[in-house]
Structures are given as structure tokens and as C-alpha cells.
């Protein structure tokens, strides 16, 4: 896990996010951990796209300010994925067993398109899922 996130200003980093319809809302406090893209078959199947853009935040700093997502046990007893039960937006991932970092879909964050801390540092299995992508840009 990366410890290289830069704290902006003197206070803790706080980011907000939510789903497409607004039912699920949350804030995360603390530095970004391991922003990456994952193109594993699970991520592709659940998202409906070739990959998902993940970023970790300290679990104690995660607060559900709207409804909490519905959790689906991707691997029962190991990991679960959270999504909005109304609009289906993918929001989060958590490991069963008290993980200190919770995975958030960067696209669920309100300012993911302008936040330099979220730029992926690892493109996990991207070529496997979308071999055409490198040529597409
Ligand atoms: Zn929703
Ligand atoms: Zn994955």
C-alpha cells in the first residue's frame, strides 16, 4: 500500500461522493491509497465496462451521509461490493475481517475528474480486458 499521498493544506483531506441518483452519499477523510484500474473479470462483469477505477481510503474515515449501499458478497466471507439499490451505481468494496482500507470507485467521488491524487498508478490487467484500448487513444 502506498504511503505517498500528499496532504493538502494543514487539515485532513476530505472528499465527498455518491451514486447517480443521490440516494447513496458518503464522505471519506484521509489520504488516497493505491489509486488503480482493475480489469479483472469480476470488475468488468459487475461494472458493465472493461475495467473499474479504484482508490482506497482509511476505513475509519468513511462515513455514509446518505443511504448505505447494498452489499453483494463477491467472494462470500472474503470481499463484498457496495452499489446503490435504486440506480445501480458501483460505490465501494470492502474486505470481510476489518480491513483498514476501504475501496471506493473513483467515479463515485464528486470531483474525480479534477483530482490529481486519484490518477491511477497501476493498470491491473488492463490489456487483458481491452487489448484495443492502448490504440484507441
Ligand atoms: Zn443511486
Ligand atoms: Zn478487479
pLDDT values of the chain reduced to their tens digit, one per residue, 137 residues: 444 444 455 567 999 999 999 999 999 999 999 999 998 888 888 888 888 999 999 999 999 999 999 999 988 888 899 999 999 999 999 887 777 999 999 999 999 999 999 999 987 777 777 777 767 65
Rounded to whole angstroms, the Cα distance separating 76 from 133 reads 32
Compute, in angstroms, the gap from residue 50 CA to the centroid of ligand 2.
Answer: 10
Kindly state whether residue 3 falls inside one of the protein's structural domains. no
> For the chain, what is the domain count?
1
Compute, in angstroms, the gap from residue 67 CA to the centroid of ligand 1.
Answer: 9
Kindly state whether residue 8 falls inside one of the protein's structural domains. no
Kindly state whether residue 5 falls inside one of the protein's structural domains. no
Kindly state whether residue 4 falls inside one of the protein's structural domains. no
What's the pLDDT at 3? 47
Q: What is the CATH number of the domain that holds 103?
A: 2.170.150.70
What's the pLDDT at 129? 74
What's the pLDDT at 4? 45
Compute, in angstroms, the gap from residue 41 CA to the centroid of ligand 2.
Answer: 7
From residue 81, how far is each of 6, 13, 56, 70, 104 by CA, in Å? 27, 24, 13, 8, 10
With a CB cutoff of 8 Å and minimum separation 6, the contacts of 73 are 79, 80
Kindly state whether residue 97 falls inside one of the protein's structural domains. yes
Kindly state whether residue 104 falls inside one of the protein's structural domains. yes
Domain that holds residue 47: 14-130
Cell 480489469 belongs to residue:
39
Compute, in angstroms, the gap from residue 59 CA to the centroid of ligand 1.
Answer: 22
Amino acid at each position: 500500500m502506498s504511503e505517498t499521498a500528499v496532504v493538502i493544506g494543514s487539515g485532513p483531506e476530505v472528499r465527498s461522493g455518491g451514486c447517480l441518483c443521490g440516494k447513496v452519499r458518503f464522505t471519506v477523510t484521509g489520504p488516497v491509497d493505491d489509486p488503480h484500474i482493475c480489469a479483472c473479470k469480476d470488475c468488468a462483469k459487475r461494472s458493465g465496462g472493461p475495467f473499474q477505477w479504484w482508490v482506497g481510503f482509511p476505513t475509519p474515515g468513511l462515513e455514509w451521509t446518505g443511504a448505505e449501499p447494498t452489499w453483494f458478497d463477491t467472494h462470500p466471507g472474503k470481499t463484498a461490493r457496495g452499489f446503490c439499490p435504486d440506480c445501480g451505481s458501483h460505490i465501494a468494496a470492502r474486505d470481510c475481517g476489518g480491513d483498514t482500507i476501504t475501496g471506493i470507485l473513483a467515479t463515485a467521488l464528486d470531483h474525480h475528474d479534477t483530482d490529481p491524487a486519484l490518477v491511477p498508478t497501476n493498470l491491473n490487467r488492463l490489456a487483458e480486458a481491452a487489448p484495443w484500448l492502448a490504440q484507441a487513444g
